[in-house]
Amino acid sequence: MAVVEDRRAGVQPMWVERIPPVWWALGLILLTMPAWAGDFILFQVMGWTFILGIIALSLMFLAGYGGMVSLIQMSVAAMAGYMVAIFGASGVAEISMGLPWWLYIPIAIGVAALFGTIVGALAVRTAGIYTIMITLAIASAFFYFTRQNYTIFNGYSGFNLVVPPQLFGVDWRQAVPFYYLTLGCAAICYAAVVYVSRAPFGLALQGVRDNPRRMAALGFNVTAHRVAAYTFASVIAAIGGILLVWQNAQIAPGTAGIPAVIDILVIAVVGGIGRPIGPFIGALIYVVLSTFSPDLLTAFGLSGERFNLLIGLGFLAVVFFSPDGVLGLWERWQARRARMSDPLKGGGA
């Protein structure tokens, strides 16, 4: 699981100069999108992509840099969403407290981070398949708990009418503002992960992934480092969870049901867990497939609900042909093209 990141430390050119042209183009497309895309694309497709991408990014951070495959990320996101509904305003007036946004957002992130940290503290003592098992077990427990608990989580029906605050006179649930809100959050989370991956904390986490025993022999408290990684990932997942509850305007146990938990894993793996951009690619593929495949399937005379079949087949194909996700396919294609155009080795040009 080698991480192909920018390895140049030491003397570097200005950071602006180091941004490849592809990123400028991507940034331009994303920023101008509201000028040429419809509300449905902005709110439903892109908004959802960014949200799922953020949650899957938190898994990528743990799995790609820390070597810990955690299935708790969706539950952590849902926890943050629930906290927004409980401490903020919702249609369930007897539970919701109606606190102002500047209070309930930090509370939501804090509670979700605490939840993720506790799960992490339990999970880091295990490795490989056992980490997956223990986080899956806690995710299931969280799902059933929210479904059965009516005093706090309002059981089966959850909370409705949970909307973002009217800040600066903008209705943030309108397509264009919501698009920019999710784009901004996704960009910040992405940048944070990229930055931290080269900071001492992130480097040490990759050291722990490669060789925990040696890290201890270099003076690092490996357990504490892993738990802290869960905390950091939980904050990112929590941001995704808050956006998710605003987008749906409601939250219910199904938000963090087992299918949703698995979807996050599928998104991260399909996109590629080697690099922070992978989860966003995976999320875009997932959202496009689940949004448009019903039309495609009905056009072929199949039932529209079979879109999971397409996603499942896509997942199988990726796992079989490119264990490092779509990103890995792209990188191999680039490497091959570079080889082909090399005059010494024959081929094109």
Partner 1 sequence: MSAAESFAAGNAAERLGAVSTGNALELRGVGKMFGALAAIEDVTLTVRSGERRAVLGSNGAGKTTLFNCITGDFLPTTGTIRLFGEDVTRFPAYERIRRGLRRTYQISLLFNGLTVADNVYLACRGVSRGRFSFLRPRRGDTLVARADELIEAVHLTASRDTAVANLSYGQQRQLEIALALAGAPRVVLFDEPAAGLSPTERAELVAILNGLPEHIGYIIIEHDMDVALRVAERVSMMHNGRIFKEGTPEEIENDPEVQELYLGGGDE
Please give the residue ranges that form the binding site for partner 1 (CB under 8 A): 1-3, 7-11, 195-196, 198-201, 203-204, 206-207, 209-211, 213-222, 225, 228
Q: How far is the CB of 209 from partner 1 (least distance, A)?
A: 7
> Nearer Cβ to partner 1, position 87 or 230?
230
3-state SS, 148-185, equals HCCCCCCHHHCEECCCCCEECCEECCCHHHHHHHHHHH
User: Could you please report the per-residue DSSP string of 171-225?
Assistant: ETTSHHHHHHHHHHHHHHHHHHHHHHHTSHHHHHHHHHHH-HHHHHTTT--HHHH
Q: How far is the CB of 195 from partner 1 (least distance, A)?
A: 7
Q: How far is the CB of 233 from partner 1 (least distance, A)?
A: 13
Tokens of 153: 């989580």
Plot region of 164 (φ>0 → left; ψ -120 to 50 → alpha; else → beta): beta
> Nearer Cβ to partner 1, position 18 or 259?
18
> Nearer Cβ to partner 1, position 7 or 345?
7
**From CA 12, how far away is CA 23, in angstroms rounded?**
19
> Nearer Cβ to partner 1, position 165 or 207?
207
> Nearer Cβ to partner 1, position 218 or 317?
218
Q: How far is the CB of 10 from partner 1 (least distance, A)?
A: 7
> Nearer Cβ to partner 1, position 162 or 229?
229
Q: How far is the CB of 223 from partner 1 (least distance, A)?
A: 9
**From CA 20, how far away is CA 32, in angstroms rounded?**
19
φ and ψ of 167, to 5 deg: -100, 140
Q: How far is the CB of 192 from partner 1 (least distance, A)?
A: 9
> Nearer Cβ to partner 1, position 172 or 232?
232
**From CA 202, how far away is CA 200, in angstroms rounded?**
6
Plot region of 246 (φ>0 → left; ψ -120 to 50 → alpha; else → beta): alpha
**From CA 336, how far away is CA 291, in angstroms rounded?**
33
Q: How far is the CB of 241 from partner 1 (least distance, A)?
A: 22
List, in sequence order, every residue forming a beta bridge with 250; answer none if it has no partner: 160
> Nearer Cβ to partner 1, position 145 or 201?
201
> Strand 159-160 vs strand 170-171: parallel, antiparallel, or unpaired?
unpaired
- 69 CA to centre of own chain: 13
| Pick from 182, 193, 184: nearest CA to 63 | 193
Q: How far is the CB of 3 from partner 1 (least distance, A)?
A: 5
